[in-house]
């Protein structure tokens, strides 16, 4: 199945046979990424991946399936999540069927602006398994899972 419009090209993690349905992080300069359920979004090294599970949980796992972090740790009502969006102006959000917000990474979110122009943020999963939102201008980490 092809990636969502505007998403990074599909790739398999390093060392795989190329059959895994996967996309690579980071997401850079994209207006909106709607994470697909059960699709694995691998770190650049392939050591970790992010997955939006069918139970509504957004989880970071090691390539060997070890648990690193989950939305269930920060959002008790994670099971209501029907969509996970990375809005390219810098926020990661879990959304319920009625379009209410279940959780968002940045509670005091303001779009990143440069010379009055909106700049798109980056969502990255590093080699230590930390998911982070990074400002495209200063390179500053705006939010991280740990």
Give the integer Cα–Cα distance in Å for 102 and 46.
29
Residue 51 forms beta bridges with which residues? 40, 59
Please answer whether residues 108 and 116 qualify as being in contact, where contact means their C-beta atoms are separated by less than 8 angstroms.
no
Checking if the pLDDT of 79 tops 90, the result is yes
Please answer whether residues 78 and 72 qualify as being in contact, where contact means their C-beta atoms are separated by less than 8 angstroms.
yes
Kindly state the helix (H) or strand (E) to which residue 84 belongs, with its residue range: strand 81-87
Q: Rounded mean pLDDT of 14-35?
A: 57
Give the integer Cα–Cα distance in Å for 48 and 66.
9
Give 114 or 81, the one with higher predicted confidence: 81
Least confident residue range of 16-20, 52-56, 99-103: 16-20
Give the integer Cα–Cα distance in Å for 49 and 65.
9
Give 16 or 140, the one with higher predicted confidence: 140
Alpha-carbon dihedral sign for residues 129, 135, 136, 139? negative
Q: How many residues does the chain have?
A: 146
Checking if the pLDDT of 26 tops 90, the result is no
Please answer whether residues 50 and 57 qualify as being in contact, where contact means their C-beta atoms are separated by less than 8 angstroms.
no
Render pLDDT for 31-76 as a digit per residue (tens, 0 to 9): 688 999 999 999 989 999 999 999 999 999 999 999 999 999 999 9
Q: Which residues contact 6 (CB under 8 A, 6 or more apart)?
A: 30, 31, 32, 33
**What is the percent of the chain where pLDDT is above 90?**
50
Q: What is the pTM of this model?
A: 0.77
Q: Rounded mean pLDDT of 117-130?
A: 82
- pLDDT score, position 18: 36
């Amino acid at each position: 199945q092809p990636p969502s419009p505007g998403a990074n090209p599909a790739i398999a993690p390093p060392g795989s046979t190329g059959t895994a349905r996967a996309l690579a992080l980071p997401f850079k300069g994209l207006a909106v990424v709607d994470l697909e359920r059960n699709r694995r979004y691998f770190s650049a090294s392939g050591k970790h991946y992010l997955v939006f599970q069918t139970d509504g949980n957004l989880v970071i796992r090691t390539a060997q399936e070890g648990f690193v972090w989950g939305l269930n740790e920060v959002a008790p009502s994670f099971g209501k999540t029907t969509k996970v969006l990375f809005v390219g102006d810098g926020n990661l959000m879990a959304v319920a069927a009625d379009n209410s917000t279940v959780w968002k990474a940045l509670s005091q979110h303001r779009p990143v602006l440069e010379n009055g122009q909106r700049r798109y943020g980056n969502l990255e999963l590093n080699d230590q398994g930390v998911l982070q939102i990074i400002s495209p201008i200063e390179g500053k980490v705006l939010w991280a899972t740990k």
